[in-house]
Amino acid sequence: MKEPQRVDQAVSDLEHQGYCILEGALSAEFCVRIRADIERLRDSGLFAQARIGKAASHQTNLEIRRDETYWLNEGAPSPVQKELLETVERYREGFNRHFFSGLWELEGHFGIYSPGAFYLPHLDQFQNDSRRTVSVVAFFNPDWKVGEGGFLRLHLPERKIDVLPNEGTLVFFFSDRILHEVTETHRERLSFAGWFLQRPR
Ligand code: OGA
Ligand code: MN
């Protein structure tokens, strides 16, 4: 499937089921460069213990999540980060054409989950701030095995879906509706998690 078809698929899946899983949406060659970029940021000490909540309630809570993050809007984006943001941007345009007119900004971070790390079930939209509308997650580890854990588990009303965090897979879902978690990983796990923000009304 070519990218324009994947964008159409994402729009239609989001509309009908509230989430979309696209395997092979990022090339292996691109994922090699993303992994090198993440290594570089980590070696420069730019990853920090992830936090939960925002503003006054912003806190680290190791019982809830144990990943380390680097926020992409913090520094000038590297060429490969720009490419990732541009790819995600093409999906945003698809969503905007079909249902939202006001999805504008993207905020997001790389996440490193070391062996033993997890993120308990949560919704991405904050209780007192409804701007996060659509979540996007991308995976960068080659050749992920089921036994390595670290699934992105979507909790749907009728069933659970375990997404393998395999390189090139892109996942979109509604930030206020889809409860999800990262199950304990047994291998170092690299991801990008981002949110399309809606203009406050
Ligand atoms: C998040 C999140 C999923 C992942 O950061 O909110 O759900 O697979 N991340 O990194
Ligand atoms: Mn999340």
Each residue's pLDDT tens digit, 134-189: 999 999 999 999 999 999 999 999 999 999 999 999 999 999 999 999 999 999 99
Q: What is the model's pTM?
A: 0.94
Is 56 within a domain? Answer: no
Question: Does ligand 1 have an atom closer than 6 angstroms to the CB of 68?
Answer: no
Domain of residue 121: give its range.
3-51+64-198
Q: Following CA atoms 50, 135, 139, 70 in sequence, which dihedral angle do they give, to the nearest 10 degrees? A: -30
CATH number for 163: 2.60.120.620
Give CA–CA dist 15/19, Å, rounded.
Answer: 8
Is 11 within a domain? Answer: yes
Question: Does ligand 1 have an atom closer than 6 angstroms to the CB of 69?
Answer: no
Pocket test for ligand 1, best of 180, 185, 189 (most atoms within 8 A of CB): 180
Q: How many domains does the chain have?
A: 1
Is 75 within a domain? Answer: yes
Distance of CA 150 to the CA centre of its chain: 14
Asked whether 117 and 151 are in contact (CB, 8 A), the reply is no
Question: Does ligand 1 have an atom closer than 6 angstroms to the CB of 180?
Answer: yes
Question: Does ligand 1 have an atom closer than 6 angstroms to the CB of 136?
Answer: no
DSSP symbol at 44: T
Is 59 within a domain? Answer: no
Over residues 116-137, the pLDDT tens digits come to 999 999 999 888 888 899 999 9
